[in-house]
Structure 1
Amino acid sequence: MSAATATAAQPEVPRSTTGRQRRSDRSTAENRLGQKLVAPAVVVMLLVTAWPMLQALYLSLFRYRLTTPNDRAFIWFSNYWTILKDPLFWHDTFNTVVIMVVTVAVELVIGFAFAMVMHRVVFARGGIRTAILIPYGIITVVSAFSWQFAFSINNGFVNSWFGWLPWISADTNWFGSHWPAMFAIMVSEIWKTTPFMSLLLLAGLSQVSEDMVEAAKVDGATWWQRLWKVILPNMRAAIMVAVLFRGLDAFRIFDNIYVMTKGAQNTESSSFLTYRQVIEQLQLGLGSALSVLLFLTVLILAWLIVKLFRVDLAQARGEA
Structure 2
Amino acid sequence: MADSIANVQDTIARPGEEGIRARLRRYRELRLTEEELATVLLTPVLLFLLGLSFYPILDTVWASLHTGYVIELPGQQRAFVGLENYRQILLPIGETRFWNAFGVSMFYTFVSVPAELVFGLGLALLLQKEFTYKYVAQAAILFPWALPTVINAKVWAWMLHPDYGVISDILVRLGLLAEPYAFLSKPDIALYTMTGITIWKTTSFMALILLAGLSSIPDQLYEAARIDGASRWRQFRDITLPLLKPTLLVALIFRTLPAFQAFGLPFGLTGGGPGEATATLVLYAQQAAYNNPGPTNGGFATGSAAATLITLIALVIALVYVTTLYEPEVR
Give TM-score, length-normalised by structure 2.
0.78
Is residue 147–residue 184 contact of structure 1 (8 Å, CA) maintained in 2? no
Partner of 1:60: 64
* Structure 1 segment 279-290 matched on structure 2, within 5 A: 279-282=290-293, 283-290=299-306
Q: Distance in 2 between matches of 1:239 and 1:161?
A: 37
2:63 is the alignment partner of 1:47: no
| Matching of residue 308 in structure 1 with residue 308 in structure 2 | no
1:19 matched residue in structure 2: none
1:202-241 to 2 correspondences below 5 Å: 202-241=211-250
State the AA in 2 paired with 1:121.
E
Gaps of 5+ in 1: 1-31
Q: Is this contact kept in 2: 1:59–1:288, CA < 8 A?
A: yes
C-alpha change, 1:80 and 1:38, in structure 2 (3 Å) is same
Q: Equivalent residue of 1:172, what SS?
A: coil
Matches within 5 A, 1:123-138: 123-138=132-147
1:96-245 alignment runs, 5 A limit: 96-162=105-171, 168-245=177-254
Conserved in 1, the CA contact under 8 Å of 2:169 and 2:180? no
Distance 2:175 2:50 in 1: 52
Q: Deviation per CA, 1:102-144, whole angstroms, max 9, x where unpaired?
A: 1111111111111112211332122111111111111111111
Q: Which residue of 2 aligns with 1:293?
A: 309
Rate the CA distance shift 1:107–1:39 in 2: closer, same or farther, 3 A: farther
Unaligned runs of 5+ in 2: 1-34, 294-298
8 Å Cα contact 1:277/1:287 also seen in 2: yes
Cα separation, 1, equivalents of 2:254 and 2:241: 18
SS at match of 2:120: helix
What is the aligned partner in structure 2 of residue 272 from structure 1? 283
The secondary structure found in structure 2 opposite 1:99 is helix
Confirm or deny: 8 A CA contact 1:135 1:193 kept in the other structure: yes
Q: Per-residue deviation at 1:170?
A: 2.9
Instruction: Output one character per residue of 1:177-200: Cα deviation in whole Å (capped at 9) or x when no partner.
Output: 223111221122112211111111
Aligned partner of 2:84: which letter? S
Contact 1:100 1:247 (8 Å CA) reproduced: yes
Alpha-carbon contact 1:153-1:174 (below 8 Å) kept:
yes
Q: Do 1:151 and 1:184's aligned partners in 2 also have CA atoms closer than 8 Å?
A: no
Question: How big is each residue's C-alpha offset from its partner over 1:43-65, in whole Å with a ceiling of 9 and x where there is no partner?
Answer: 42122212211211111111225
Query: In 2, distance between residues paired with 1:71 and 1:277?
Result: 20
Equivalent position amino acid for 1:149 in 2: W
RMSD of aligned C-alpha atoms? 2.5
Give 2:291's aligned amino acid: E
Residues 243 and 330 in structure 2, CA contact (< 8 A), matched pair in contact too: no
Using the TM superposition, give the Cα deviation of residue 40 of structure 1 relative to its aligned residue in structure 2, in angstroms.
5.1
Q: Equivalent residue for 1:73?
A: 79
Contact map agreement 1:201 1:239 (CA 8 A) in 2: yes
Q: How high is the TM-score relative to the length of structure 1?
A: 0.81
SS of the equivalent of 2:279 reads coil
Q: 1:75: Cα distance to partner?
A: 1.0
Q: Is the 8 A contact 2:263 2:282 kept in 1?
A: yes
Distance of 2:229 and 2:116 partners within structure 1: 31
Figure out how many residues of one structure are paired with residues of the other and give that number: 282
- Cα distance, 1:169 vs structure 2: 4.4
The structure with the greater share of residues assigned to helix is 1
Distance in 2 of aligned mates of 1:271 and 1:211: 47
Decide whether aligned partners of structure 1 residues 58 and 244 sit closer, same or farther in structure 2, where only a CA change above 3 A counts: same
Q: Which amino acid aligns with 2:279?
A: E
Q: Does the CA contact (< 8 Å) of 2:246 and 2:330 recur in 1? A: no
- Per-residue deviation at 1:230? 1.4
Sequence identity percentage: 27
